Amino acid sequence: MSAPDWDAIRADFPILDQQVRGQPLIYFDNAASSQKPRAVIDAIARYYERDNANVHRGLHELSSRATDAYENARAKVARYLGAASADEIIFTRGTTEGINLVAQAWGAKFVRAGDVILLTEMEHHSNLVPWQMLAERTGARLRFVPVAEDGTLALERLGELLTPEVKVCAFTHISNSLGTINPVAELCRAARAVGAVSVVDAAQSAGHLPVDVRALGCDFLAFSGHKMCAPTGSGALYGRAELLDAMPPWQGGGEMIVSVSYERSTYKKAPGKFEACTPNIAGAVGLGAAVDYLEGIGRAAIFEHDLALTQHALARLGELPGVRVLGPRERRGGLVGFVMDAAHPHDLTTFADQHGLALRGGHHCNMPLMKKLRLPGTTRASFYFYNTKAEVDRMADILAAAVRFFA
């Protein structure tokens, strides 16, 4: 297979062809949200222009078209993740909702007082707060795999932490602050060995590298569409069929029922019982289009492109005085978090914006990790396949100017 034409691919993103503060836009905030290619924008527009109707319950032509588009998108996501069936895919508003669904539906039924929920110290709030809430409701306890000095997990501690009391083992695939790529398959195997359910936060990985849920051996995996070229408010939760069948609904309403009387209701099988109300149909259509687009490029190629930009950024940041990069040097995703001695992350991000450079400054929804690292936050540059080495070089020049400005 020939290498992707990255220049032609970049031209698919109309938003990148603009100036900010009189400078060409450099968008390095992809870990927060990615940009959308024309193919996704057009798919959403076509849906609203030709097929807009509610799904499943209508007998007219537009409803049939909308239903087909919605369920075709589910099938695409299933293939994209390597799921055994489209019935293992639940559409959500994103990673946060997917994890909350597991914590509320599976956790409320199967987690009890005295049980342990094992997380890591690098979790995004979306993979921490829902488990805190579950622990408060049930009397379960939280336990954490430490983060080592180099930004990787202290896996030598796993044996003492992942004990039979652990009912849930939830962890991120790629850290949104450190860039660390965690050994998901190894963690899932260890969780299953003690009878724990594994939950993977794939927000930073689903659009950046190949993800196969059966190869990973995970029980649940959640991701957000807006971080992989799809619309905001779109995403999906994968769950193994037997687990989904054992879970109660987490929301009640229309669409997720088989029958309703004044006294009681009966519910559909998964995924229907977890999708109460009118869904984000256009978001699902856009997600399906994004899956097609990314598959057309190839996620392995995207990962190699991201990694090359990251390695180039690490080299250029290493040239700047008073700048320290967080996370491992090897085996990392397409983002770089760093601190500059001379400037607070918010001030540095504001300075960069004046030069057309979009970075992210703050705690990145990793407040406990930042407290552990004794930092108020970091500045983060995060890359995607439409970014270039020339943009990384321009970022280095802007940051060099910032070092002089804040000195």
Residue 63 CB-half CA count within 13 A: 8
Give yes or no: residues 133 and 259 share one domain. Answer: yes
Spatial separation of the C-alpha atoms in residues 128 and 100, rounded to whole Å: 10
Q: Pick left, alpha or beta for residue 93 (phi over 0 → left; psi -120 to 50 → alpha; otherwise beta).
A: alpha
Residue with tokens 């910032």: 402
Which CATH number is 346's domain given? 3.90.1150.10
Domain span at residue 372?
6-30+299-406
Give yes or no: residues 274 and 322 share one domain. Answer: no
For residue 36, being part of any structural domain is answered with no
Length of the chain: 407
- What pLDDT sits at residue 307? 96
Query: Is the distance from CB of 333 to CB of 174 less than 8 angstroms?
Result: yes
- With residue 207 as reference, give the H or E element that holds it: none
Residue type, 59: L
Query: Is the distance from CB of 297 to CB of 39 less than 8 angstroms?
Result: no
For residue 154, being part of any structural domain is answered with yes
The residues of the chain scoring below 70 in pLDDT are 1
Counted domains in the chain:
2
- What pLDDT sits at residue 178? 98
Residue 116 CB-half CA count within 13 A: 18
Q: Pick left, alpha or beta for residue 335 (phi over 0 → left; psi -120 to 50 → alpha; otherwise beta).
A: beta
Q: Does the annotation mark 188 as catalytic?
A: no
Active-site residue, from 188, 218, 229, 365: 365
Q: Pick left, alpha or beta for residue 52 (phi over 0 → left; psi -120 to 50 → alpha; otherwise beta).
A: beta
**Maximal CA-CA distance, the chain:** 71
- What pLDDT sits at residue 113? 98
Query: Domain boundary residue among 249, 266, 296?
Result: 296
Give yes or no: residues 306 and 170 share one domain. Answer: no
The neighbouring-strand residues paired with 92 are 235
- With residue 383 as reference, give the H or E element that holds it: none
For residue 1, being part of any structural domain is answered with no
Q: What is the secondary structure of 36-101 as a DSSP string? A: --HHHHHHHHHIIIII-S-SSS--SHHHHHHHHHHHHHHHHHHHHHT-S-GGGEEEESSHHHHHHH
For residue 102, being part of any structural domain is answered with yes
Q: Pick left, alpha or beta for residue 260 (phi over 0 → left; psi -120 to 50 → alpha; otherwise beta).
A: beta
Spatial separation of the C-alpha atoms in residues 180 and 376, rounded to whole Å: 20
- What pLDDT sits at residue 2? 79
Tokens standing for residue 90: 């639940």
- What pLDDT sits at residue 209? 97
Query: Is the distance from CB of 399 to CB of 313 less than 8 angstroms?
Result: no
Please tell me what DSSP assigns to residue 268.
P
Give yes or no: residues 222 and 275 share one domain. Answer: yes
Does residue 359 sit in helix, strand or coil? coil
Q: Degrees (nearest 5) of the Cα angle 98, 99, 102?
A: 90
Give yes or no: residues 262 and 309 share one domain. Answer: no
Give yes or no: residues 208 and 273 share one domain. Answer: yes
Give yes or no: residues 155 and 232 share one domain. Answer: yes
Query: Domain boundary residue among 296, 320, 336?
Result: 296
Residue type, 28: F
Give yes or no: residues 122 and 160 share one domain. Answer: yes
Q: Residue 160: how many CB atoms within 10 A of its CB?
A: 8
Residues 6 or more apart from 330 whose CB is under 8 A from it?
none
Give yes or no: residues 279 and 307 share one domain. Answer: no
Give yes or no: residues 233 and 93 share one domain. Answer: yes
- With residue 167 as reference, give the H or E element that holds it: strand 166-172
Give yes or no: residues 227 and 329 share one domain. Answer: no
